[in-house]
Structure 1
Amino acid sequence: MGELDGKVIAVTGAGRGIGLSHAQLLASEGARVVVNDLGTTPDGRSAAAAAAGAIRASGGTAVADDSDISTWSGGESLVEKALSSFGALDGLVLNAGIIRDRMLVNMVEDEWDAVMAVHLKGHFAPLRAASAHWRQLAKETGRPAGAHVVMTSSEAGLYGNVGQANYSAAKAGIVGLAMVAARELERYGISVNAICPRSRTPMTEHLGLFDAGEGFDRWDPDNIAPFVGYLCSDASSEITGRTFVVHGGTVSLLEPWQEVAHLDRDSRWTVAELIPAAAELFRDRSPALAPFPDPTAAHA
């Protein structure tokens, strides 16, 4: 018996890396999984088909899907694949992503558009299709849909990372999308949360920062999947609109933007008045942007 017995969960970008870990963990907990991926294996086979086949060989239940979730029709096709294969859709794990890193003054339009399409539109298109299904289900049955959505952001979207204007902007947009979706879909019994994973992936392993070392491998992508499984379970139903950083054995809850200082008066400011007054905003802090968090630093 698993924590997700009988649930149907679609996972995008599930042919390798973190997405594959998610799909395998969800299946091991009893979920029936739709493995979505457009990629291929090193020997040229469909990555989605290979991953789904491996899950079935391990005793799980999975089907492959090669819909392009960066398109409107692809998002709808993914939802239809879940419904036609298993008759239901209980969860959506949005994980697909690419990188096209470049300093912003050197970035070309195609590099910006490609990252926005896969990450941001690739989150919205399946989410929109799934949400329409769940809303209709709730109206027809008179009961909450009881579904769960997990989105994949990044600390690059929270803090901004040099050389990743496209990726950071898309990942920040995903956090905003998660909060909007959480507010809009709560009435239908749907939870929506975002995670920022820290792990080795096919996109980051070339950086050389994520060696396994000795003992517990904090960078293993398999470490991320259990928390995703939890967010897909009914035990997490009251958690929605939240963002988490997941790394190794650490799960950190982050809060949205908070006011840390303010200026106030009962009349309009002038520029001349603001020149000395604005220093009050930074009395106890640097006016410069804080350094990007060191991903290899131990959790405080």
Structure 2
Amino acid sequence: MKPPVFDYVAPRSVRETVDALGDPGRTAAVIAGGQSLLLEMHLWRRRPDLVVDVNRVAGLDGLGVDGGSLRVGALVRHAAFEAPQAVPGPLGTLFQQAVTNIAHPPIRARGTLVGSLAWAHPASEWCAVALALDADLTLRDSDGARQVPARDYFQGPHRTARRPRELITSVRFPLLSDDTGVAFIEHRRTHFCFATVAVSATLTVRDGVITGSRIGLVNASDRPVRALAAEQSLLGAEIADDLYHRAGRAAAEQDAAPVAEPFADPGYKRQAVAVLVGRALRRAAADQRSRAAGRTEGLR
């Protein structure tokens, strides 16, 4: 199918972009990778009369550490995170594990992390990672910039706190400490399907005691979910295998609010959440032990 008729602009600066988005009386859509937007337009599910292409906007492709956080610009492609050394420490490992579950190489070469946050699909890997890690988004319009924490940003499927005239210019993720282990696990029906359920997990352990965890659930509700009940069940506990099972059940029964899909009813999804949270925590614990052993070996 052909998309509806639309006008197209390719601004060169953030100012030109927000001016285009602020054009009164027009329904505008931002395109960076276009991996979701273009399909929706071809299916006539999205009908913007103005498409604003930000690929030529200077300064949106930055990726780097600033203080204790990683800043990801709006034009940083998924593929940038396929090598774990692209981002320092455990955060780089988590990003590398998450990104390999996103579609396939051509999509990852064009799509962007910030674009995934803007689209806010319930099955988005990046949305759950951002929520679990307390990321902060920077949104800009003609009046200036504002910061929106991920916990306040996601409001439902494809619904966010972004206003129609705003552009997401970047997102910041806090770096993870060296005593943190990470894991990302995804279950889907086929390689080319969206995630049925996926889990992002971090586990911080000191002297055999869990001092912190961050668990994000993908497609376990109509928006990304932070599994706070599961996290609370881990805090202050000593490492034990049955602990991960209990955390998985807490996530499934208290944190998840699954929506039925053609191949996965809510009961199936809750069971998948329980299993995947337990597996992700075990892998995160193993990753943490490996990092601790590496540091000990390095001191010899």
TM over 0.5: no
Specify the structure having the higher radius of gyration (Cα). 1
TM-score (normalised: structure 2): 0.29
Which structure carries more strand by proportion? 2
Which structure carries more helix by proportion? 1
